[in-house]
């Protein structure tokens, strides 16, 4: 280590040519080099770490520019504000290099940039569709009622899609900041699920996807915030329909475990499935499995919001199982009311 190797040439301790060159330049500049801050990336074990490197020259000569008093130039004398050149045999100035690991900060910054880019695209797409169909209606391109109805449905669906995206963004922000208003009371999950199915029905119908309900009797109630659970169920259903091929099947079910006083809501699809390497990250904000990017676009907020609603707001538990090429089952567990 550096601490165990005093007076050892830096080239024998560091094996990073760029870092060695930065130190060499700083030593050459001496006191004139002042303080320099650069970013430097180091690859180690297949991973790349980003460091903010602060370099400062160290010399045993006082710097006239920072000494007390005022220097008075003397004709023919050396400029007191210019550090004297090193005398023969003098050691060149030393350099202090402080490395601050900023990998996490840079990764977060990149995620934010990617998020803004992705959300901007997601906002533009439905807006472009709405604008195009409104222009067709204004220009009189829809001559009959059937065509007009078709145009109206497209506008309505795109507006709903836009609204869901905005709701997801705002909901995550409120929960993370602790500003979300939570109204937990006994709720019948069957009614909440059927409301979500009404919204997702047209999206499933366009892909000829069969939606199956397997709900518990209405007498069972969970301790829940109705609006938040509705949003969680809607996001699970939307994801299932999005990643299920045409003609597939989506099943939504509730299962009561009276012994544990829990109720499970689960959405199962016959879609593309999730690779094992992606499973630990699917509830992370902005995360999208690589294979899913080729099927449908999106900012990767739906499941992240489900996680916030279930774990942060309701202290519940998330459940997920998946097989690539066979489909996925994603759900959550909440407390039954006493």
Label residue 212 exposed, middle or buried (CB < 10 Å: 0-12, 13-18, 19+): exposed
Token pair listed for 49 = 């770490």
Higher pLDDT, 208 or 28: 208
Angstrom distance (rounded) from CA 83 to CA 31: 7
Region(s) of the chain under CATH 3.30.565.10: 107-335
State residue 70's pLDDT score: 44
Per-position b or e across 137-165, b if 16+ CB within 10 A of its CB: eeeeebeeeeeeeebeebbebbeebbebb
pLDDT confidence of residue 71: 44
Q: Provide mean pLDDT across the span 60-87.
A: 48
138-169 pLDDT tens trace: 998 888 999 999 999 889 988 987 887 788 77
334/318 Cα distance (integer angstroms): 9
pLDDT, tens only, 8-28: 666 666 777 888 888 888 888
Instruction: Mean pLDDT check: name the lowest of 69-73, 116-120, 222-226.
Output: 69-73
Angle in degrees, CA 88, 91, 92, rounded to 5: 100
Q: Which residue has the tokens 């069957």?
A: 190
**DSSP assignment, residue 298?**
-
From the options 1.10.3720.10, 3.50.50.60, 3.30.565.10, 3.30.1130.10, give the CATH code of 107-335: 3.30.565.10
* Cβ neighbours of 24 (radius 10 Å): 14
Range name among 59-63, 122-126, 304-308, 310-314 with the lowest pLDDT average: 59-63
Given a cut of 80, whether residue 238 has pLDDT beyond it is yes
Average pLDDT of the chain?
80
What number is the average pLDDT over the span 159-185?
82
Show the CA angle centred on residue 56, arms to residues 52 and 62, nearest 5°. Answer: 165
pTM of the model: 0.59
């Amino acid at each position: 280590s550096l601490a165990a190797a005093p007076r050892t040439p830096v080239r024998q301790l560091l094996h990073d040519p760029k870092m060695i060159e930065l130190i060499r330049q700083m030593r050459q500049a001496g006191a004139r080099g002042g303080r320099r801050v650069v970013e430097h990336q180091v690859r180690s074990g297949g991973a790349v770490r980003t460091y903010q490197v602060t370099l400062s020259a160290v010399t045993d000569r006082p710097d006239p520019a920072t000494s007390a008093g005022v220097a008075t130039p003397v004709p023919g004398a050396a400029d007191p504000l210019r550090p004297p050149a090193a005398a023969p045999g003098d050691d060149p100035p030393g350099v202090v290099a402080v490395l601050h690991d900023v990998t996490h900060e840079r990764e977060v910054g990149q995620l934010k940039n990617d998020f803004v880019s992705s959300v901007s695209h997601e906002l533009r797409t439905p807006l472009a569709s709405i604008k195009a169909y409104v222009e067709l209606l204004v220009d009189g391109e829809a001559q009959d009622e059937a065509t007009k109805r078709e145009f109206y449905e497209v506008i309505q669906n795109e507006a709903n899609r836009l609204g869901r995206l905005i709701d997801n963004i705002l909901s995550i922000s409120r929960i993370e900041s602790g500003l979300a208003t939570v109204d937990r009371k006994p709720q019948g999950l069957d009614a909440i699920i059927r409301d979500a199915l009404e919204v997702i029905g047209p999206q499933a119908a366009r892909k000829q996807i069969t939606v199956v309900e397997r709900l518990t009797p209405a007498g069972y109630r969970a301790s829940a915030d109705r609006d938040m659970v509705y949003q969680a169920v809607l996001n699970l259903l939307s994801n299932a329909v999005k990643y299920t091929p045409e003609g597939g099947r989506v099943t939504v079910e509730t299962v009561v475990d009276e012994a544990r006083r829990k109720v499970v809501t689960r959405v199962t699809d016959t879609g593309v499935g999730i690779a094992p390497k992606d499973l630990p990250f699917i509830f992370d904000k902005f995360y999208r499995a690589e294979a899913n990017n080729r099927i449908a676009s999106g900012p990767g907020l739906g499941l992240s919001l489900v996680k916030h609603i279930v774990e942060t707001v309701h202290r519940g538990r998330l459940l997920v199982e998946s097989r690539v090429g066979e489909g996925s089952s994603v759900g959550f567990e909440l407390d039954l009311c006493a």
